[in-house]
Structure 1
Amino acid sequence: MNNLILVGFMGTGKTTVGSALAASLGMPHRDLDAAIIEQEGCSIPELFTRHGETYFRDVESRLLAQLLDNGPQVLTTGGGAVLRKQNVAVMLAKGTVIALNASEEEIIRRLENDTSRPLLAGGVAERVKTLMAERAGAYDFAPIQVDTTGKSLEALVDEITAQVVESAEGGKQ
């Protein structure tokens, strides 16, 4: 099996689902944001404050490409990793991309008490609505699309596993 790459808007469950999926498949799990924090030696909000979003996105792009060369693995990305065309291209070239999504209401509920996300500064509900509108269609490139709203972790892992197997079998024709 090759790299499985989880993308999606913040709060859709990428890290939680990715960790469970990796455990279920016996694959290593890497989280792109955690790798950035490890490499840079500070939190993502600190990175944004010190160097700005462009610097963060540059580090994100570089590490994404490096990590995907170390597969097979389950790699979870930050919600904005898809904003650069080069990231989308490298993900599609080096693995199977799975987009997680959830309803706006569900995302707001999941994120309303999260203070670790710099892009949500200034009000979670307002920022989620604005960012979701700005990123409409940004995750549509992923061949596998999974809605996480109201589903158990076990059900999500089963659904993704079934779709990955089906996708792999479809590619062997």
Structure 2
Amino acid sequence: MNIVLMGYMGSGKSLIGSNLSKKMKMDYLDLDDYIENQEKKSIAKIFEDHGEIYFRKKESFYLNEVLNTYNDTIISLGGGTPCFAGNIEMIINKDHVKSIYLQTSLDELTNRLFAERSKRPLIAHLESLEDLKDFIRKHVFERSFYYNQADYKITTDQKQVDQITEEITSLLF
């Protein structure tokens, strides 16, 4: 079985995925890291050189590759991965995949992302907390349709990583 973690950027997918893999003694794969390794450049550089459409096509290609190649792996997706190119269908139609939506509130996401926005191409240009909050609000509204198709939903607000990890393991086993 593979476990796919999805949610908006800043929801904790990478941190929780890494922690969950240790607890469950499963391999861990961050799809963004995988793409960077395959493409030999950062996500930011891919966006800069080729644009978002190119990136989304590559992202879908590599998601398909990972889902068809890896087993017993925790996979953290990029925030937009489920929302493009039929990726959510690819995820939910695989018998060996369980998907989990890490749902995080608007305020929590805004607070987490503001300090690290320079490292994230989609929000690097936003100067104020209010601009960032408006941006996140719009994206989460648009993406919720896809995220809510996950097999399970975990609310992450006010929870420690170990607590979320425990919640996920109790859901799955």
TM-score, normalised by the number of residues in structure 2: 0.90
Read off the aligned partner of 1:16 and give its amino acid letter: L
Q: Distance in 2 between the 1:86 and 1:137 partners?
A: 13
Task: Tell me, yes or no, if the aligned pair for 2:56 and 2:85 is still in contact at 8 Å.
Answer: no
TM-align CA RMSD: 1.2
Report the residue type matching 2:156 in the other structure.
T
Deviates more, 1:115-124 or 1:6-15: 115-124
Partner of 1:32: 31
| Residue 119 of structure 2 is aligned to residue 116 of structure 1 | yes
Give the Å deviation of 1:143: 1.4
Could you tell me which of 81, 97, 100 is aligned with 1:98? 100
AA in 2 matched with 1:15: S
Matching residue of 1:171: none
Q: Alpha-carbon deviation of 1:131?
A: 1.5
Give the whole-Å Cα distance in 2 for the aligned partners of 1:134 and 1:86.
15
Contact 1:119/1:127 (CA < 8 Å) preserved in 2? Answer: no
1:84 shift after superposition? 2.3
Alpha-carbon offset, residue 138 of structure 1 = 2.3
Q: Which range moves more in the overlay, 130-139 or 66-75?
A: 130-139
Spell out, residue by residue over 1:80-112, the C-alpha distance to the aligned partner (whole angstroms, 9 max, x if none): 011125211221133000000111000011111
Distance in 2 (CA, whole Å) between partners of 1:137 and 1:49 is 28
Residue 150 of structure 2 is matched in structure 1 by: 142
CA distance in 2, matches of 1:84, 1:164: 26
The one-letter amino acid paired with 1:138 is Y
Deviation at 1:134, TM superposition (A): 2.4
**2: distance between equivalents of 1:130 and 1:86?**
21
Structure 1 segment 145-156 matched on structure 2, within 5 A: 145-156=153-164
Q: Which amino acid aligns with 2:81?
A: A
Question: Is 1:127 aligned to residue 110 of structure 2?
Answer: no
Pick which of 122-131 and 144-153 moved more. Answer: 122-131
Under a length normalisation based on structure 1, what TM-score does the superposition of the two structures give? 0.90
Match in the other structure for 1:19:
18
Unpaired runs of 5+ residues, structure 2, are 127-131
- The runs of at least 4 aligned residues of structure 1 exceeding 6 Å deviation read none
Q: What 5-or-longer segments of structure 1 have no aligned partner?
A: 166-173
Which of 95-104 and 117-126 deviates more? 117-126
